[in-house]
Every structure is written in C-alpha cells, then in structure tokens.
Amino acid sequence: MNINLEMIIQATINFFIFYFILYKFVFKKTIAIMDSRKAEVEKSFAKVKEQEDRAILLKEQYDKDVINYKNEGLKLVESYKRKADQVYGEIIEESKKEASNIKDRALKEIAKEKEKARVEIKEEIVDLSLQLSTRILEKEISEDKHRELIDEFIAKVGS
C-alpha cells in the first residue's frame, strides 16, 4: 500500500475549503436558526412557568376567598339565627303579657259580673220579699197558706 502524500494534502485542503464554505454559508445560518429556536423555546417555557406561577397564586387567592366567604356566610347565618331567636323570644314574651292581660281582664270582668249578679239577686230577693209581704198583708193567711207562700218564695229564689 502506497500512501500518496500529495493526495492526502489535496484532500485535506479540499476538506478545509469545503468546511470554510459550509461554515460561511450554512453553519452560521443554521446556528442562528437553532439559537433563535432555542430562544423561542426558552421564552415559551418561561411564559408557561410564569402562567403556572400566576395560576398557583390565583388558586391560593381563590382558596382564601372561598374560606373567607364560607366564614362570612357562617357568621351571617349565626347572626340571623340570633336575631330570629331574639324575635322569637320577644314574640313569646309579648304573647305571655297579652295572655296575662286578657286573663286579668277576664278575671275583672268575671268579678264585675259576679258582683252584678249578686246585686241583682239581692234586688230580686228584696222585690220578692216585698211582694210576699204585700200578699201576706193583703190577705189574712192561715198557717198552711203562709207555708205555701214561703215555699213558693223559696222556689222562686232557688230558680
């Protein structure tokens, strides 16, 4: 095997010329395209990371808001419950007072009616006694007749 030194030198020179041409026209543009593509990909990743961080912050804020609204809702419900209990108590107290007033008025009315009935009964007894006395005086009454009038008087008073 013969090694041809001249051919090796020519091949090496051709290789370097070809490499220089490729470097000058292809490699720079390819590297520039690859660098710009890399920059775009890194920019996209940064944007996605930024959006992810923002989404995490929004979710945390949302969770805080949900907890706050829930607590506010519970406080509001508790407040309305206390107000309802207060109104219920006031209504019960007012009903008790009204019932007591009605009872007192009824008792007073009963006492008045009782006194009125007592007065009417007394007046009736007096009237009947006067009528009986008048009859007795008008007639001369025998003992049997007298007993009969008294029984009749008692029967009228009793009914």
The answer to whether residue 60 is domain-embedded is yes
The answer to whether residue 48 is domain-embedded is yes
The answer to whether residue 91 is domain-embedded is yes
Q: Kindly report whether the global pTM for this prediction surpasses the value 0.85.
A: no
Q: Domain tally for the chain?
A: 1
Give the separation between CA 7 and CA 15, rounded to whole angstroms: 12
The answer to whether residue 121 is domain-embedded is yes
The answer to whether residue 25 is domain-embedded is no
Question: pLDDT 10s digit of each residue in the chain, 159 long?
Answer: 577 889 999 999 999 999 998 888 888 888 888 999 999 999 999 999 999 999 999 999 999 999 999 999 999 999 999 999 999 999 999 999 999 999 999 999 999 999 888 888 888 877 777 777 776 666 666 667 767 777 777 777 665
The Cα angle at residue 48 between residues 44 and 50, in degrees rounded to 5: 115
The answer to whether residue 105 is domain-embedded is yes
CB 132 within 8 A of CB 149: yes
Residue 51's domain spans which residues?
42-158
The answer to whether residue 5 is domain-embedded is no
* pLDDT of the residue at 95: 93
The answer to whether residue 4 is domain-embedded is no
Work out the end-to-end distance of the chain between its first and last CA atoms, rounded to an integer number of angstroms. Answer: 165
**Phi, then psi, of 2 in degrees rounded to 5:** -105, 135
The Cα angle at residue 65 between residues 60 and 66, in degrees rounded to 5: 95
Give the separation between CA 28 and CA 39, rounded to whole angstroms: 16
